[in-house]
Chains A and B, each alone.
Chain A
Amino acid sequence: MMANISDLSRVALDSSRDSSGSGSSSRSLRVAESMKKKGETNPFRSALSSLSQVREGTTVKGNDELERNLVVVETIAFGQGLPPEAVSLLLDLALSLRSGTCSRVLKFLIPASVVPQEAIVRGVSWLCVGKMPVNAQVLFLRWVLTVFDLIDCKDHLRAIYGFIFSFVTEENLCPFICHLLYLLTMREHVQPYRVRKLLDVQAKMGRQPYLMQLLALYKVFRPELVSFSVPTRMRTGFKNHNSTWKAALTAVQRKNRAEVMADHSLTVEVKEKPTSRKRKLHHLDVPALSSAFDTNSERKVFRLQELQSFTELIQNIHNIELPAQMGSLLGSSLALHYLDCVQDESAFLRLNFWLGHSLQEEFLLCPADGSLSSLAEASQFLSIILSSQQFLQESFFSTESFLYKFLTVWDGSLLRTHFLDLLSHVPLMPSHYIKVLVFEPLMQLYFTSAVFFKCSVMECLNNMLVKWLTWHSVNALEDGLDISLNSNGTVTMTLSGFMDTIIELVRFVGRLAAEGLRLENCHVLLLSQTLTFYETVCDMFVKYGLPLVIMPPAGVFYPALLATDSLTVDRLGYIMYRYRENLTLAKKQEQQSEQTFHISRNTYQEFNQHLVAMVSCLWNSKSFLPGTGFEIDECLLTQTKVPEYGSRFDLVHHPAFFKYAIEFHQKFWPRRKRVDLASIKVGKYWNWYVEFLFSQGFDGLNDFIQVNTGHSSSSVLCQSLTLFICLSGQCHIED
């Protein structure tokens, strides 16, 4: 059907072209036409073909046949849109003014799929003939702008750029012509004589937004030809001229097209400049994308401002031109994609100079003339840096060096989350540097600030550790001991250097956490953040392949073990379980290989000690007794007058689980008036109680007990310790 129509329309087109030529050929065509018509009766095609034969000077009034045909085509047009050939044919009919139905035809010219560019070229040629009334000219141009995205190809249109340009002097057409030119302009179109012409027009017509837009585009392409500053309060863009067709067009498009027209989710965001007039300095503005003027460059380049979609980026990635100000890349997500591929050292240096300067001026030098930006602006600026760094998964070295300076003068409250986030992006560096540059100033802030700041610091350091470990597992060089810190391999770090830094960090956090917990009376949030950190630490070997196991200090372990909330104890269980997994794997590796292993005997001892303490406390009701890892003098314990102090921290009496024990008791012995928790510890009740606890979601504890007893949770109580000793023995095989 489609093919038939196109055949027909081609014939129709030919015939209309020939209409001025020999009558005989057109007659023979007409004969062929009517022959076809007999075979298949399609009112649309017959209407179209007769419309194509309309001759100049046909009267409209009282011409029923014409009217009928128009109605048929109009109905189809609004219903399902017109095929490309019909669009050409009808456009030609309208603009040739043969029938006096120009505006009517234009108004229902709804393309179903694409518009052939030749139709537009012919349209422009009709425009050049100069017989069209002004309103028809305007309508035609508005129609072209509306269907612009549907034009199949634009190279021929660009070829007649000069013809289109000549209409800018026509006052009525100028806005539409400017818009059309804006859509068509390529670098080669921007010529000095055109610039001069536009300036003339501007001098005559004043600061019209459409002229400014076109001139701004000219400046993008040839900044050496035109200088232009966009006023802050300029109305942006062009007006939409699609009102006549919009509704019908979208309806038809929706019907005919399954795929979406264009994915605009990744377009370059043209940043709206905040129009605050107060500030004199704009050092916290991300500059707008603009092109550098480079007069001798005749190379075909693609400018970032032109970039509309990710596809365009991929297609032009080999000849994209960097903007005049590298900082402007941070303002656009597409440009960031490109930044990730940039290989130019100077480009990065430019970016870093700008970024470093902005940060320094704002936060370190603080200009005395009161031009300091507002807090909101500062935080927005830092957010841009943060999101860029997150996107690139790397920090800028200017941010880094700024942070080291800033940490020494920071009060710990100004834009806290931003700065701590930035700090967590700091790249790996040798341990003696990190100590001086980060840990020392941070420690001062930590110990002089409130508990919430301490929590934020813990979180920040955990993120830092995770980033470093991830980075290590991705970047470790295959065959050497060295880890390249950059592409050139000029800065490398040995594995032992890397381990030193990690050890330094973990120890540092251990100190902060232990002291912090003491100062803040084991604040539950701080404890929680600390455990989050150790959740990362305990899995360094299994998860990140770093042969390093560092146990938490007593100042962290015991507060967690004796905490009053069950979640903390549960997390500690999970952490100890993961430590065991890591150590077991390490042990296995060690036995399989000839080499001695990195993990020292001390670590195993520490682990065993913690394990024994935890088990004797929670499971065996033997806390504080000799040989359990944390021993308290008996005299002291009796002085507390707590009866049966050894069992005060078992799973039944532990303050964290007390509530569950009571609940369990009530469920099992609903009639008992006197609560006797000790009865839970007898025989099968104990197993049921443990099951009950696990059913409450204490997965960490579950893992811990399962892996350490070697049986399911309902195993017999006294088996556990023997197995621990077994593990300890195994561990002590060291050396």
Chain B
Amino acid sequence: MATVKWPHFFHFSAPHSVVNTPAHRPDTRRSKSYGRSCVEPPSLFWQTPGHLTTLGHRIPTSRRAAKSHNITTKVDPEQVALLIKNEWKLSHVTPLYRFRHTQLKLYSKHLAAFIIAEKQQGVAVEVGVEAGFKVTFSAVLGIAETKEDAETVFIQVHSKPLFSADTPKAVWRGWLTCVNGDPEYLRSLPPDFVSLPLFCSSGPEYLTALVKSWFERTFDCSFGSLYLNSTMLNWLAALWTGCHPTSNIRYLKLAWNMPSQPPLDIAYTVNPQDAWELWNSIHTEDSTDDRINIEEVQLFMNGLEIHFFRHFKIYLSAGTLTKVSTALGSAHHDGKIKIGSSDYITTLLTLLTECALMKTPV
């Protein structure tokens, strides 16, 4: 007969029972989850029991309307200017382990050495000797909104020409940021981690790959491409249109890709005033806390699509929204953005931070 294990909670004595567990078990096997369970908060995976989306994240159904915000009062205008110039390719990043904002100088040296070493496979490079590339890390203070947000980090790679008469030229730029990240989640991370979930890069692909690879090796994090789904693009279209009275959006351009044979790309440009009037007819502004609901956004997009159908008899909803752009910025569904105006940068980055955090695996 098999040995019977006899825990006490059966509420009866077992005179002939075989094995009694020792009175003080020294150590129960711990679970690798260490108090974290993927079905309990703070895991982003599980939000409300019974409502599980594919990736299982809470998607907000309402947002605060975009408000103009002169960011240059908080942030160094020179740094802001750097963010605005380029088109950025987006990635999401898992939290960085032992990243310290106080060590940025050291990181500059290491990344430079790493890039050079990777370029000349097999030849070792002494850290700290500048040859060919120069890297600068800098903190962009003031972009973070809440005290849970880590400060944004900006990275530039300069190539140093062989003949040093020329000044170094910036060949690659990138930054890591977190704006209005889910506070519950951010608080749940152990202090060793810094969450900067959104990574924007601009420059040659191989340098992006090298920088990512260096971060992965140094801070034990992982990068993945961030794509913007049509819900996100819809949000942006509505949020930007709502800004028109305070700051001229000049145009609302939308692009669709239709699944026809041959594929059809549709560019749809809306007069800013018309767009705003449509939005104004849908969105009711209550003065206290101006929030926008997802239903309003849907109505707004439907309005635009119906208008298009009236003229061209094409259901845009059958296709994929690929791009939204106004003078305030543009966003492409393959994860490329441009920031047109610094005044609305917070709204945009909040949205993108949320997108990136949703991709956090655990």
Contact = CB atoms under 8 A, between A and B. Distances in A.
Interface of A: 192, 195-196, 198-199, 202, 207, 212, 215, 218-219, 224-232, 234, 280, 283, 287, 290, 292-295, 324-327, 345-346, 348-361, 364-365, 367-369, 392-398, 400-402, 404-405, 408-409, 427, 429-430, 432-433, 436-437, 473-481, 484-488, 490-491, 495, 539, 542-545, 547, 581, 585, 589-590, 592-595, 597-598
A470 B117 CA distance: 51
Contacts of B193: 346, 349
Given A228-B125, A398-B361, A409-B54, A543 B2 contact: yes
Given A212-B124, A485-B37, 15 more contacts: A226-B126, A227-B127, A229-B117, A350-B97, A351-B32, A357-B361, A361-B222, A394-B29, A401-B56, A429-B37, A476-B7, A487-B30, A543-B2, A545-B4, A593-B13
B184 interface: no
Contacts of B189: 349
19 contacts: A202-B123, A207-B123, A224-B127, A226-B126, A227-B113, A228-B124, A229-B122, A287-B217, A349-B189, A349-B190, A394-B31, A397-B33, A429-B37, A433-B39, A478-B7, A478-B8, A488-B30, A592-B13, A593-B13
B117 A228 contact: yes
B4 A542 contact: yes
A477 B28 contact: yes
A594 B127 CA distance: 76
Contact of A486 (B30, B52, B190): B30
Q: Give me the 4 closest cross-chain CB pairs, A-B, nearest first.
A: A356-B361, A593-B12, A487-B30, A401-B38
Given A295-B106, A477-B28, A486-B35, A365 B43 contact: no
A365 B220 contact: no
A641 B246 CA distance: 91
Contacts of B35: 345, 486, 488, 490-491
B117 to A, nearest CB: 4
Given A224-B127, A353-B95, A437-B39, A401 B45 contact: yes
Interface range for B: 35 or more
Nearest to B216: A325
Given A198-B124, A228-B124, A230-B122, A352 B29 contact: no
B362 interface: yes
Interface of B: 1-2, 4-15, 21-25, 27-40, 43, 45, 49-50, 52, 54-56, 94-95, 97-98, 106, 110, 113-114, 116-118, 121-127, 189-190, 192-193, 209, 216-218, 220-222, 224-225, 227, 334, 359-362
A436 B50 contact: yes
Which of B7, B22, B125, B190 has most A Cβ within 10 Å? B7
B126 A199 contact: yes
A39 B56 CA distance: 91
A207 B122 contact: yes
A404 B45 contact: yes
A592 B190 contact: no
A633 to B, nearest CB: 43
Nearest to B45: A401
Contacts of B334: 368
Contacts of A212: 122, 124
Contacts of A593: 11-14
A405 B45 contact: yes
A481 B10 CA distance: 9
Contacts of B33: 348, 352, 396-397, 486
Contacts of A405: 45, 54-56
A699 to B, nearest CB: 16
B1 to A, nearest CB: 7
A207 B123 CA distance: 6
Contact of A365 (B2, B49, B224): B224
Given A229-B117, A436-B49, A542 B97 contact: no
Nearest to B227: A368
Contacts of B126: 192, 195-196, 199, 225-227
B86 to A, nearest CB: 21
Contacts of B7: 476, 478, 545
